[in-house]
Each structure stands twice: as C-alpha cells, then as structure tokens.
Amino acid sequence: MIISKAFAAIAGALISVNLYAGTGEFSFRSLAAAQEKSKASNGGETTSKKSEERASRTSRSEQQKSPAPRARPLPSEVFEIRFDPPLNADEATFLVPNTIHIDVRADMNPKSVSVSTGPTGTEVADAWRGFAATDKPTSLPNGGKRFEITVTSCRRVGNAFQFTVVTATKDTYSTYEGAFECRSEAARPIRISFPQKGDVLQVGQTYTLRWVGGDPNFPVEIVLSRFGWRAPIVLAESAPNNGSFVFTVPTGLQLGELDPKWKKGDKSQSSILLRQPDAGIVGGTGYISIVR
C-alpha cells in the first residue's frame, strides 16, 4: 500500500477515499454453451444453431432467476470523515487539539471505528500502529451513526491516518489520509538565542539557555546531544516553556561515554535540542563546542 505524498485540497470538506473496487463473477454459462455447440458440430450447421439457441434461452432464463449479487459498497458509500479544526491543505498540517468525526451509514450496522497512525513513504504493514478506537456512536438525523475521536496532542501522531469501520457482522471498510505534519494550534518555531552555533561551553560551568517560540501550553524536553554519543543526555524532561532554563554542563562528559572511534581531542561537536512532542515542535542550537 503506497500512501500519497501530498494532501488533496480538503479545507474542511468531507473526505472519502476509495480503496475497494467492485467485484466480478465468473460465469460458467458461456462454457456450457460452447460445449453444446462442439457436440452438435458433427450433426451439421442446423443442429449447431439449434443447440446455440437452446443454450442462449437457458442462459437468459437462469440470469432472470439468479440476478448478479451487488458489489461490496465502497468506503465513500459507507462513511465520511471530517476534521475539526480542518486539515490545512496549503501547509499540509493537522492541528491539535482536534476532533475527528466519522459518519457511517445506518444500514451498514456499524459497531466500531478505529484509527491508526504511521509514517508515509513505506509499504511495511507494521509501520501503522493503533491510535484510538470507539464503539459509542451518536445518532444522526439521517439515521446514520457518528463516531468521534479527539486528539489532544501530537506525541503519538505520525504523518498519516488510517480509518477502519467495523460492522456488526465483522465486515471492515478502510481508508487513509496523508501526508501531513502534526502541530498544535499555538505552535511557533523555536529559536535559541544562547548558546548559538560556534559557542564554547566549559564542563562544570553553569549557563542560562534562552529561546523564544514553541507553544506556551506544553512543556519542553531539553537534551544535550553530542556527535558520536550512543545516546543524548537529558537536561530536563518537562520544563516550562518560559524562554529560559539554567543548567550546568555535566561533569560526567568523559571519553568513556563516547563511541571509541570518536575519541578526538578535548573538544566535542555538540548541540542542545528543545523538543515539544505534544506540540510537534523541535528547535536546536547547531553545533557548539564543549571543553574540559
């Protein structure tokens, strides 16, 4: 399954994507008529024509008695999806908090709706992970059922959604939307004023990290990442997004923490990253140097 790289222009409109094509039915009636014609071929042209006419009348009669079954309904006939606030078609942005409305036709006898999220640009089936599900719909004036799922943060949201409607008879109907980036409504780019790219910090010294932007409604995670490290050092797991944070460069920055192949002198290429996973925002300093 290949996911579209660009969002269709949505801007608040109802969205439906078809994934199922109509099914066909192979008929053995034409084969029976051909066999009848073959048997009669030794009896001359008249016998052959009579056999064909009988086969044709039989076929028409059977078709009248057994009408072709209706093809499975397409997802567009089954349910519609609406985001509130709407998806931003120009910036391909999904805003949080967001309430997703999934309206399902009443005659489909819907039982539940589930939502999965995952990255685009992959055909790996397990790249999709379950995000939320509900089996508590409300009734619509037209007799349909509306399922609602509220997304409060970007922490677990990938850049595509897949919706699956399950009926009481366990039939499933799926569709997906993509690609987009998740952002909070108050998101602003994070810009760090200190330290900046090229600055030098001393191990054991105390500094004040300063920045602007982000979302004031969500905390920030602050990490010190060093080129060649196996893992970054977390300076703060959940600091207020107030524009400043006092920290001391850890004295534990020893060569033993580095991958051996990166033991190159007493300077390191490092950076400080500010992350707001709930708001979908990341900001960084660029490479700075840390000396002992």
Summarised one tens digit per residue, pLDDT across range 156-193 is 898 889 999 999 999 999 998 878 999 999 999 999 99
pLDDT at residue 187, rounded to an integer: 93
More confident residue, 6 or 232: 232
Identify the weakest region by mean pLDDT among 12-26, 28-42, 92-106, 274-288: 12-26
pLDDT at residue 56, rounded to an integer: 58
Using the structure block, give the residue that is written with the tokens 């709706």: 113
Which residues, listed in sequence order, are joined to residue 116 by a DSSP beta bridge?
130, 162
pLDDT at residue 83, rounded to an integer: 94
Tell whether the model's pLDDT for residue 64 goes beyond 80. no
Q: Are strands 145-151 and 98-104 parallel, antiparallel or unpaired?
A: antiparallel
pLDDT at residue 260, rounded to an integer: 53
pLDDT at residue 77, rounded to an integer: 85
* Mean of per-residue pLDDT scores for the chain: 77
Among residues of the chain, what percentage have pLDDT more than 70?
Answer: 66
The Cα–Cα gap between 252 and 255 comes to: 9
Which residue type does 284 have? Answer: G
pLDDT at residue 66, rounded to an integer: 54
Neighbour order of strands in the sheet with 206-212 = 191-194, 206-212, 244-248
Show Cβ contacts of residue 79 under 8 Å, excluding neighbours closer than 6 positions.
16, 102, 103, 104, 105, 108, 110, 113, 163, 165, 173, 175
Using the structure block, give the residue that is written with the tokens 């994507």: 17
Tell whether the model's pLDDT for residue 280 goes beyond 90. yes
pLDDT at residue 59, rounded to an integer: 53
Tell whether the model's pLDDT for residue 226 goes beyond 50. yes
b/e per residue 159-191 (b: at least 16 CB within 10 A): bbbbbbbbbeeeeebbbbbbbbebbbeebeebe
What would the two tokens of residue 157 be? Answer: 């949201």
CA nearest to 97, candidates 275, 13, 218, 178: 218
Tell whether the model's pLDDT for residue 10 goes beyond 60. no
CA nearest to 9, candidates 112, 108, 101, 88: 88
Chain mean position to CA 185: 19
Top-ranked range on mean pLDDT: pick from 8-17, 150-159, 208-217: 208-217
More confident residue, 167 or 229: 167
Top-ranked range on mean pLDDT: pick from 62-76, 98-112, 217-231: 98-112
Average pLDDT over residues 32-44: 41
In terms of residues, how long is the chain? 292
Which residues, listed in sequence order, are joined to residue 114 by a DSSP beta bridge?
133, 164
pLDDT band at 90 (very low <50, low <70, confident <90, very high): confident
